[in-house]
Amino acid sequence: MPSRTLFLHITPAGKTVFYLLATLSALLCLYGIYRRWKTWQQGRPGSPIADWSRRLRTAMEHILAHRRVRRRRFAGTLHALIFAGILVLFIGTCIVAIEHYGAWVFGEKWLYKGTFYLTVKLALDLFGTALLVGTVLALARRFLRRPDSLGHTWKDGAFLTLLLTATLTGFLLEGAGIAIDPQRRSYAPFSPVGSLFALPLYNALSVERYVFLWWLHAVLVLALIAAVPYGRWLHLFTIPPTIALQPARPMGALEPVPVEQVEQTGRIGLATLADFTRWELMSLDACMECGRCTEACPAHQVGKPLDPKQVVLDLRQLLDAAPQSAPGTDVISDDALWACTNCHACVRECPALIRHVDIIDGIRRYRVAEGRLTGTAATVLRQLGSRENPWGLPAAQRMEWARGLEVPIATPDDGREVLLWVGCAGAFEPRAQQSLRALVQLLQRAGVHFRVAGPAERCTGDPARRIGDEFLFQQLAQANIDLLHRLNAQNIITQCPHCFHTLKNEYPQFGGHYHVLHHTQYLRQLLQQGRLTRTGTTPESVTYHDPCFLARVNREVDAPRTLLYTALEEPLREVQPHGSRTLCCGAGGGRMWMEEDRSQRPGVHRATGLLATGARTIAVGCPFCKVMIGDSVAQVAGENAPTVQDVAEILLAACTSATPLSEHGTA
């Protein structure tokens, strides 16, 4: 019956030496993991972990299926080959160990024999080949065509060379076993690659040479195991728990700061490593330095000092400091910190699911609390505190945008189920007011019984939270939650993706639970219900810019396109990249109100791509995007700049009411 002799030609003394070396290798590996675990304990405990079934599905999706890794074809392919090869070879080693130690109970050749043995043998040969090919490709990428953003030290080349040598000697040892063992030779077809290595060994192999190859391979493999936790390959152990234990908060929803925590620590935000959660510290060690976050960062693309990967690496260096030294986060400069637009492009690209923006905003909170914020950003916070809107205008002006539209102001018993959240941009910014008026006219034509909060509405607090004033955000949020509770508002529509995100994903942290829709989502519903129908089309060529907080953070890319397909005469001209990979306009993270060098505007970078489509109209779904893209397009194209319009404005020109109001009632 097909089987394999373990420790072929290895003496009892040799077995003893092997077990001693294997124990040493395992201890070195475990110590490397343990020393990092000790550094993670510098942090504070995170939130309780629940919903394990969802977490395990997510882990399998990102670990086994390589969902994000595969976004880069070459790098994804080589990584998948290496991962699959190591995983299957590890499983094969476990099977051999079970066979060996199980023999004490079940007798010799109780598991690893017959068809099962041949199947495993073939699988190990094929996946060993995958590991070999993947390692060669990884070495070629690192030394022949290394991307600028890819981290590199001598350890990387040394580890890959060690992995390649261990894999090659494994095949060489397999070939030697076939050449020297007649029993294995009869089953050589189940080791097709190993058989190739056996060909030159049939007449040149002695027992002594076989034993030498056995020891060479064993030492290389044990050295490989011992080395894993002492470089970026530590991510083999840290990425699985980082993915499985990530916070349950949606992307973009920051962790609230309880007053009790501030009273206990005397600080707000991330001042030292002790202020990080243990998961956040572990996630720093999950970084494999692939540089995808840096390549995706809109601030980095236009030459600003922000490098998301370097933020992680700078903080990771602090992990080696003794806990009692409480190393601070000042390794991250103010310029880099406030260059972030909170667009979450780095978070979307990260294969380890590291939350760079949460870390950046956490450090911002500390520095704002310490009074280190100056310039227009500090002015915005003062205006939010005094006038409850970032423009610093009086609440009495909040309804000026609605002149002539007969927009009803909400009362607790008005019976209208839909509340239109105007937002500060819609109330005070002229271009956003145009978009809002178009939306209101569409709602009126569709017979929607809606209402607005009027002068009682205030900023959702999004700019305050993104800039770093957490308690100002909580103050504004609680006031709005109280207002919405008094108005019995359950269904909310908003034209601003930032308001949409805050109301939907962050107000629940403080007890504000609502059904919130972006205006493109609600208008799509009206179209599907037949309450809006197309009576004409827009002849202009149109491209669409996806807002970060709608497309990437909240994964809504279809609703605005459905509306545009309805309104357009010719196909939409898609800009690259688009959808969840959209480029930021530069307004997020509070940067809408911060000083900026005209040559370093992310919006200008985006405008170049939008203009390249040749479209005469640029559609947007965000008031901030309308301002930033409009200014950037004008800067690049001058008098020939295309018009920038909200999706609602384009739809308004093509749709009218489908049936009388009385047939619909309230929305």
With a pLDDT cut of 70, the percent of the chain lying above it is 97
Rounded to the nearest 10 degrees, what angle do helices 308-318 and 356-369 cross at? 70
pLDDT of residue 3: 83
How many Å apart are CA 579 and CA 559, to the nearest integer?
A: 11
Question: What pLDDT is recorded for position 659?
Answer: 40
User: From CA 469, how far away is CA 464, in angstroms rounded?
Assistant: 5
139 and 29, same structural domain? yes
Do 63 and 202 share a structural domain? yes
CA 291 centroid distance within chain:
13
Q: Which of these three, 188, 217, 242, is where a domain ends?
A: 242
User: Within a 13 Å sphere around the CA of 601, how many CA atoms are in the beta-carbon half?
Assistant: 26
Task: Note the pTM of the prediction, 2 decimals.
Answer: 0.92
Looking at the structure, do residues 511 and 645 belong to the same domain, yes or no? Answer: yes
Residues 285 and 159 in one domain: no
Kindly report the number of other CB atoms within 10 A of residue 127's CB atom.
Answer: 19
CATH code for the domain of 106: 1.20.950.20
Instruction: State the pLDDT confidence band at 664, using cuts at 50, 70 and 90.
Output: very low
Asked whether residue 206 falls in the same domain as residue 280, the answer is no
Q: How many domains does the chain have?
A: 3
Say if residue 510 is in the same domain as residue 586. yes
Summarize pLDDT for 61-98 with one digit per residue, the tens. Answer: 999 999 999 999 999 999 999 999 999 999 999 999 99
- 1 located within any domain: no
Answer whether residue 609 is part of any domain.
Answer: yes
Of 208, 242, 276, the domain-final residue: 242
Instruction: Supply the pLDDT for residue 105.
Output: 84
Helices (H), 190-265: 192-198, 207-227, 235-244, 259-265
**C-alpha–C-alpha distance, residues 537 and 652, integer Å:** 10
Report the pLDDT value the prediction gives residue 656, as an integer from 0 to 100.
62
Confidence grade of residue 323 (pLDDT, cut at 50, 70, 90):
low
Which pLDDT band, with edges at 50, 70 and 90, does 662 fall under?
A: very low
- Which is nearest to 242 in space by CA: 276, 275, 278, 279? 279
d(CA 19, CA 368): 56
Distance in angstroms (rounded) separating the CA atoms of residues 603 and 628: 6
Residues 215 and 79 in one domain: yes
Assess if residue 336 is contained within a domain.
Answer: yes
Q: List beta partners, residue 450.
A: 418
Q: Give me the pLDDT at residue 325, please.
A: 53
- Quote the pLDDT of residue 657: 45
- Answer yes or no: do 129 and 207 share one domain: yes
Q: Are residues 233 and 254 in the same domain?
A: no
What pLDDT sits at residue 205?
86
Q: Which residues are CB-contacts of 131 (< 8 A; sequence separation ≥ 6)?
A: 81, 82, 84, 85, 86, 89, 163, 167
pLDDT tens string 572-607 = 999 999 999 999 999 999 999 998 888 899 999 999
What pLDDT is attached to residue 423?
97
pLDDT at 405 over 90: yes
Residues 180 and 199 both lie in one domain:
yes
> What are the start-end ranges of the H helices in 267-399?
278-286, 292-296, 298-301, 308-318, 334-337, 345-349, 356-369, 375-387
| DSSP one-letter code for 551 | I
Question: Given this model, what pLDDT does residue 508 score?
Answer: 97
DSSP helix/strand/coil, 437:
helix
- Residue bearing the bigger pLDDT, 119 or 48: 119
| pLDDT band (50, 70, 90) for residue 280 | very high
Q: What is the pLDDT of residues 158-186, one digit of tens each?
A: 999 999 999 999 999 999 999 998 888 88
Q: What is the pLDDT of residue 661?
A: 35
Is residue 617 a contact partner of residue 642, using CB atoms and an 8 Å limit? yes
Tokens of 84: 């699959």
* Alpha-carbon distance values, 6 to 186, 195, 517 (Å): 17, 19, 64
Do 225 and 158 have their domain in common?
yes
Q: Residue 316 belongs to a domain with what CATH number? A: 1.10.1060
pLDDT at position 40 over 90: yes
Nearest to residue 605, comparing CAs of 361, 245, 387, 298? 298
Judged against a pLDDT cut of 90, whether residue 34 lies above it is answered with: yes
pLDDT of residue 663: 33
Closest of 346, 349, 430, 428 to residue 389, by C-alpha: 428
Average pLDDT over every residue of 280-284: 96
Contacts of residue 54, defined as CB under 8 A and 6 or more positions apart, other chains included, come to none
Percent of residues, the chain, with pLDDT higher than 90 = 83
Query: What is the average pLDDT score of the chain?
Result: 93
Q: What is the pLDDT of residue 545?
A: 98
CB 213 within 8 A of CB 173: yes
The answer, yes or no, to whether residue 660 has pLDDT greater than 50, is: no
* CB distance 632 to 607 below 8 Å: yes
Kindly state the DSSP code that residue 421 receives in the 8-state scheme: E
Whether residue 635 is predicted with pLDDT greater than 70 in this model: the reply is yes
Q: Does 324 score more than 70 pLDDT? A: no
Give the range among 180-184, 191-195, 440-444, 460-464 with minimum mean pLDDT.
Answer: 180-184
Residue 413's pLDDT is what?
87
User: DSSP letters of 159-207?
Assistant: HHHHHHHHHHHHHHHHHHHHHH-HHHHTTGGG-HHHHHHHGGGTTT--H
In a domain, 185, yes or no: yes
Query: For residue 259, is it within any domain?
Result: yes
Residue 588 in domain: yes
Q: Which residues of 446-484 are buried (b: 16+ CB within 10 A; e: fewer)?
A: bbbbbbbbbeebbbbbbbbbbbbbbbbbbbbbeebbeeb
| Tens digit of each residue's pLDDT (9 = 90 or more) over 460-477 | 999 999 999 999 999 999
> Which class for 268: exposed (0-12), middle (13-18), buried (19 or more C-beta within 10 A)?
buried
Q: How high is the pLDDT of residue 666?
A: 36
pLDDT higher than threshold 60 for residue 658: no
Domain annotation covers residue 666: no
Quote the crossing angle between the two packed helices 430-445 and 623-637, to the nearest 10°. Answer: 130
pLDDT for the residue numbered 181:
87
- Whether 52 maps to a domain, the answer reads yes
Q: Looking up tokens 């699988």, which residue turns up?
A: 123
Instruction: Measure the CA–CA gap between 332 and 314, rounded to whole angstroms.
Output: 7
Q: How buried is 406 (Cβ within 10 angstroms: 0-12 exposed, 13-18 middle, 19+ buried)?
A: exposed
Residue 644, pLDDT > 50, answer yes
Strand-pair partners of 635 = none
Q: Which of 198, 214, 242 is the last residue of a domain?
A: 242
Asked whether residue 546 falls in the same domain as residue 610, the answer is yes
Rounded to an integer, the average pLDDT of 317-331 is: 74
**Domain span at 53:** 12-242
Contacts of 216 (CB under 8 A, 6+ apart): 169
